[in-house]
Structure formats: C-alpha cells, structure tokens
A and B are shown apart, each in its own frame.
Chain A
Amino acid sequence: KNEVEQSPQNLTAQEGEFITINCSYSVGISALHWLQQHPGGGIVSLFMLSSGKKKHGRLIATINIQEKHSSLHITASHPRDSAVYICAVGGGSQGNLIFGKGTKLSVKP
C-alpha cells in the first residue's frame, strides 16, 4: 500500500464546475504539499499546510491531521487549470517528501 494515496486518478470536468481532489496518507507528517504539474512538465508548489485551511485565488486546500486526509478544491474551474495535481507529505525534520501518484485533471470549455 502506498504511503500517499490520491483520488481520483483522472478527472474530467466542465468549465465552471467545482472540483475536489483527495489525498490520504498513512505516515506521520509535519506538513503536506500540493503541487501542480502542467502539460509542459513544470512543477509549481501550490500550498504547504500543516493544519486547517489555506486559500489562494480559486484554490482551497484543507487538511485534517487526525484523519490523515487533505483535499484540494478548485472553484469555478477553467481549462487552464488542466494539469496533474500531486500531493506530497513531509515526515521529518530534514525536508524529504513522499509523493502521491497524482491526479490528472482535464477541464473542458
């Protein structure tokens, strides 16, 4: 069993829809990251959170430490949101990350 599980693996949505991507982990962590990888391959860090909720524009990330679960929400989705979203957890003081397999999101106009 992977230490970081994401669902769904693939997601297709219509422009404007509300999107949720889930991440569950089985290890103790000190922080969880959401990353975005565009079709061109570049990786951008969207959020790093250790508790509660963070919001940036149309993106919202939440984490429940007790349940070992995080969600990434996209409101009013747009085709430019099409990308692979990767959840990664960090468990120690040194900074190493364990990655989920990613969720491929495609937003149709």
Chain B
Amino acid sequence: DARVTQTPRHKVTEMGQEVTMRCQPILGHNTVFWYRQTMMQGLELLAYFRNRAPLDDSGMPKDRFSAEMPDATLATLKIQPSEPRDSAVYFCASGFLGDGKFIGTQYFGPGTRLLVL
C-alpha cells in the first residue's frame, strides 16, 4: 500500500531553532507539494517540485524557509530561524503530472505538527 511518509510527526521547538521536515513521496510520482495548514488560513501552498526541480515557491517566506529535493525519494522543508507564527501542520503531497494541463490526484502525507514556543 503505497503512501507518502513524513517525519517527524510532531515537533516542539523554541523560537530561533532550525526545523527540518522530511517527506518521502510515493515511488514513481514526479511532483511533490508542501502545504501549511493553520486554523486562521486553512491550507496554503508553500512550494512544489516537478522532477525534483522547484516550480513555484512563492508561498514561502524566503528569508527563513527553504525547500529542496536532494533526490527523487526525499523532499525537505527547512525553517531557520523558526518563529512562533510558524506553528502549523505541514503536509507533503505527491502526484504525477504529465506534460498537458491536466492536474493529477495528489496523495497527502500524515503531516508534521509543528509548535514553536
């Protein structure tokens, strides 16, 4: 049963610390998305990759957030330095996009619940 995995599932840290979240997409998927969910804003897209290349990271605060895909089986989202307003649930999702304008189904990971004190 293929699924997207995320680690850690929960993270509590202090303001100013670096946070790294990891995602393993479903094997064979060529697109990875990072989303953030808060009570106030709901789900928001932070960044996404296709074939490991970043396509859009306009949703991310560039000064503190960075997203990478060092290889096809790992995507990372880093926050440095972290701030209390970064407290949220961070979801990774993967899917397969072809060359046309059709958007494929996305499969979501269980999320990383981050609390910055």
Residues of A within 8 A of B (CB): 30-31, 33, 35, 41-45, 48, 50, 86, 88, 90, 92-102
Known: A95-B31, A96-B45, A97-B45. A90 touches B103 (CB 8 A): yes
CA A102 to CA B93, docked complex, whole Å = 18
Chain B residue nearest in CB terms to A46: B105
CA A101 to CA B95, docked complex, whole Å = 22
Inter-chain contact total with CB atoms closer than 8 Å: 67
Contact of A96 among B48, B111, B113 (CB under 8 A): B48
Secondary structure call for the B interface: strand
Q: Are A99 and B108 in contact (CB-based, < 8 A)?
A: no
4 pairs of A and B residues whose beta carbons are closest in the complex:
A90-B103, A43-B108, A99-B43, A31-B103
Q: Are B108 and A44 in contact (CB-based, < 8 A)?
A: yes
Residues of B within 8 A of A (CB): 31, 33, 42-45, 48, 50, 55-56, 89, 91, 93, 95, 97, 100-108, 110-111, 113
Q: Are A45 and B107 in contact (CB-based, < 8 A)?
A: yes
Contact of B55 among A31, A33, A90, A94 (CB under 8 A): A94
Q: Are A99 and B44 in contact (CB-based, < 8 A)?
A: yes
* Interchain Cβ contacts under 8 Å between A and B, 18 examples: A30-B101, A31-B103, A33-B106, A41-B111, A41-B113, A43-B111, A45-B106, A48-B103, A90-B103, A94-B55, A95-B31, A95-B33, A95-B48, A95-B55, A95-B97, A96-B33, A96-B48, A99-B44
